[in-house]
Every structure is written in C-alpha cells, then in structure tokens.
Amino acid sequence: MYYLATIKDTLRVPPKRFDEDLREILLELARAAFEEQIDSDLGFIVAVLGAEEVGMGKIIQGDGGAFYEGTFKTLCYLPKDGEIVEGECTETTDFGLFVRISTIDALCHVSQITDDFFSYSANTGVLQGRTSGRKLSVGDRVRGKVIAVGIGNNNIRVGITMRQAGLGAIEWIDKWKEENEARRKKQKAGEVEEEIK
C-alpha cells in the first residue's frame, strides 16, 4: 500500500552551499538520504515530496557545516497482510515465481499458485499445472493476495497466494469472469423459461 508519511531529521548543509536556497538544499539532501531506503516502520521510501518545516540552523564546534532540523513529506510503500496486489512475473523457479509489486519482488510459492500441482521446466522457464495445463512464465501479469510481510535491514520480503477465486494470471481471471457471466446468463434464461411454463 502506498501512503504519505512525515520524517523529521537533522541534515548537515556544507559551507560551500550556504549561498543557495536553503529549502532546495535540504530537499536535495533529504532525497539523497531517504529515497530508496527501507525503514522498519515506514517500509520502502519511494520519494521525498517536499520540505514542510525547516528549523533554525545550528553550528557545532569543529564542523564548518550548519545543521538544520527539518520535516519532510515522503511517499512510502509497505504491503499489508490481506492486500490484493497485481504485478508482472519477473522470475520463475522450481519453488515458485517472483512478482514485481511496486518496488518489491514478492514470492508466490508453487503451493500457493492454485490447487493444481505446478512443476518447473528449466529449459523453457515455465511453471505448468499438471492437471489444468495452465502456464506461468516471465512477463505474465498476475494478481495475488499478500499473506506474509517481513522487513529486514536491507529488504522487504513478501509472500503472496493466488489460490482464491479472482486471483492468478490475468488471463485466468478473465476466463473465470467470462465463465461466471455465461453461467449467470444461462441460469437467468432458465429462470425465465420456468416462469413462462
């Protein structure tokens, strides 16, 4: 889930930049410090959008720079349990597939693809269902549900499932919708026929 967050921090402005616009310098420094970082509370910090407040600068003895406390508005991404996500398959392996959701590659284990048993062909890079014949390969668009999120110092690990109705490869979902619509039309036609009799 994308969301806005506020980060409060103190940044050092080097003396050679004292003649520049302070807000612009702090925004640039904040972007260099925070963007593409992972925070245990915020998740992945996608972008610093602006400097909201800038305090008075402080000078520390022995350092030529000035230190400014600022408040910065950020755009962050952190998947939540139960969230429905959609992305592109970036890798297939014998244990599952990786799906790019926003800035993270989530793992869908083979046991979480469908009720069917999926096996991997190293020659073609394809995961294929034994009974259904359904295939998954790099580049396929899929929809899944987040079932696990773990945040480490340098990464966010996400597990997804595609076992429920309305999840899986987009082409599977489209076919499922068409079949449901056809079933509803057939059922409705049957009800009209009953009324006529």
| pLDDT tens, residue by residue, 99-110 | 999 889 999 999
Contact partners, residue 133, CB within 8 Å, separation at least 6: none
Q: β-pairing, 96-101 with 104-109?
A: antiparallel
In the prediction, which pLDDT does 194 show?
Answer: 61
Q: Establish if 33 belongs to a structural domain.
A: yes
Name the residue type at position 37: Q
Q: Considering 60, 77, 94, which residue would you say is the last residue of a domain?
A: 77
Sign of torsion, CA 44 49 54 60?
A: positive
Same domain, 154 and 104: yes
- The answer to whether residues 137 and 107 belong to one domain is yes
Domain coverage including residue 24: 2-77
CATH number at residue 124: 2.40.50.140
The C-alpha atoms of residue 181 and residue 173 are separated, in whole angstroms, by 12
Mean pLDDT in residue range 125-134? 93
Q: Is 196 inside a domain boundary?
A: no
Domain containing 63 — which CATH number? 3.30.1490.120
Distance CA 161, CA 145 (A): 5
Average pLDDT over residues 46-52: 93
- Collapsing DSSP to helix, strand or coil, 150 comes out as strand
Please, which residues bridge with residue 76 across strands? 3, 45
- With a threshold of 0.85, does the pTM exceed it? no
Query: Does 64 lie in the same domain as 90?
Result: no
